[in-house]
């Protein structure tokens, strides 16, 4: 229940902490798919879609007229909010 509350509140880091504690206690944990469109801001979703389509951070930055550092920052937040660790997982999360 706490894990769901943290996800709903937009606190994926705390939700992951709860998940780790439950795992350590031997509790079964059901996988909870995250709705990317609900979890991400409009700009984050746009960036995620471009990256999932194969664009590099530099290509995304050029296309959206933002810096590559800004794209890097958004990607870290996207990964955190969706509870993923790779671009491959990002593609799956957006399906």
Domain ranges for the chain: 1-32, 36-95
pLDDT of res. 31? 59
At 72, is the secondary structure helix, strand, or coil? helix
pLDDT in tens, 53-77: 999 999 999 999 999 999 999 999 9
Q: Which residue has the higher pLDDT, 88 or 13?
A: 88
* Token pair for 59: 């290509």
Distance of CA 40 to the CA centre of its chain: 8
pLDDT in tens, 1-43: 677 677 667 777 888 888 888 888 887 765 556 788 888 999 9
pLDDT of res. 47? 98
Q: Are 51 and 87 in contact (CB under 8 A)?
A: yes
CATH topology of domain 36-95: Arc Repressor Mutant, subunit A (1.10.10)
pTM: predicted TM-score of the whole model, two decimal places: 0.67
């Amino acid at each position: 229940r706490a894990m769901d509350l943290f996800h709903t509140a937009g606190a994926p880091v705390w939700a992951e902490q709860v998940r780790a504690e439950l795992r350590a206690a031997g509790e079964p944990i059901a996988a909870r798919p995250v709705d990317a469109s609900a979890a991400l801001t409009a700009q984050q979703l746009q960036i995620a879609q471009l990256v999932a389509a194969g664009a590099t951070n530099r290509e995304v930055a050029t296309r959206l007229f933002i810096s590559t550092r800004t794209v890097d920052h958004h990607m870290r937040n996207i990964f955190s909010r969706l509870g993923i660790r790779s671009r491959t997982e990002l593609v799956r999360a957006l399906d």
